[in-house]
Structure 1
């Protein structure tokens, strides 16, 4: 079992930061997912989330600003492994112009209604709709639940 950590930032419009993975991605190529990746040996899920977000987007967040939405178990058919993903989130005032593409085809803030219709990774397809319907998302996006 491999541990992963991912981050979803929510902007003032309620749009969520998603990554369109390119054809070279080992997991979920050509699909939309979250910024994130492997938790290194000896690294906490939270530290991995901070590191991966910075590596993939150039965005640096303080660990104290991230909130854990949950841990999710997922089978990745590409690697034939049952993995655990720590899903973190935070509000942000950043825009697409603040994102430095470090991996994938593009990383942009996406309208949640548009996001629901995108070709999503298995992880995002499983977790994004529930997150968008959650009290935590309503709080972060400043919208009523």
Structure 2
């Protein structure tokens, strides 16, 4: 979830068991069984940052897929523009997120370039920089691969 207020975006510092060192990321996570992708994004944003938004305020910016461990993982990459800059408060039940912080977009892009999971970082960077149009799909053959990027067909 790319949550923006003016020229700043929310990043979370994660200490994920899959990665050797903590890293900065956008709020993200798995969709639970009874949720739509938008509802899952709203819940993850609330848990990881304390920010509550409505699902109808989200914009589906792109989708992505990655093959990892023999399984195809699908992701819906949402963005939301916030009218105010809320105070951040982490309440992550998974205890992966250690901190949430408002970061200048230019600084966020640099931090995201260091993220070890390209299927998460590259679409987020494209959203923040405007490098990919709305509806773009990112397909990764594995997490470290260069993606195949398919823009939305325009009619």
Q: Deviations over 1:1-53 (max 9, x none)?
A: xxxxxx111012x211111112xx24445122121211111311011111111
The question of whether the paired residues in 2 share the 8 Å contact of 1:33 and 1:123 is answered with: no
Report deviation, 1:86: 0.8
- Residue in 2 that maps onto 1:94: 85
Matched, 1:131 2:123: no
Query: Normalized against structure 1, the TM-score is what?
Result: 0.73
Say which structure, 1 or 2, has more relative contact order (CA 8 Å, 6+ apart): 1
- Residue in 2 that maps onto 1:3: none
Larger radius of gyration: 2
Cα RMSD, aligned residues only = 2.4
Which runs of no fewer than 5 residues in structure 2 stay unpaired?
134-155
Query: Normalized against structure 2, the TM-score is what?
Result: 0.69
Which runs of no fewer than 5 residues in structure 1 stay unpaired?
1-6, 138-145
After superposing on structure 2, the runs of 4+ consecutive aligned residues of structure 1 that deviate more than 3 Å are 26-29
Report deviation, 1:82: 2.7
For 1:27 and 1:67, how far apart are their aligned partners in 2?
A: 29
Higher helix share: 1
The question of whether the paired residues in 2 share the 8 Å contact of 1:69 and 1:87 is answered with: yes
